[in-house]
Amino acid sequence: MTDTPPPPPPAEGPQRPEQGRRLVGPPSSLLAAVKLMYVGAGLQALALVFTFAARVELRDQIAEERPDLTADQVDRAMNMQLLSVAIVDILAVAMWIWIARTNRRGLEWARIVATVLGPLNIAFTLFSLSQSAGVAIVVRFLTIALSAAILFLLYRPDSTAYYKAV
pLDDT value, residue 23 = 59
Residue 11 banded pLDDT, cuts 50, 70, 90: very low
The values of phi and psi at residue 162, to 5°, are: -65, -45
The answer to pTM > 0.75 is no
Residue 15 banded pLDDT, cuts 50, 70, 90: very low
Residue 14 banded pLDDT, cuts 50, 70, 90: very low
Q: Which amino acid is at 158?
A: D
Arithmetic mean of pLDDT over the chain: 84
Overall average pLDDT of the 19-48 stretch: 86
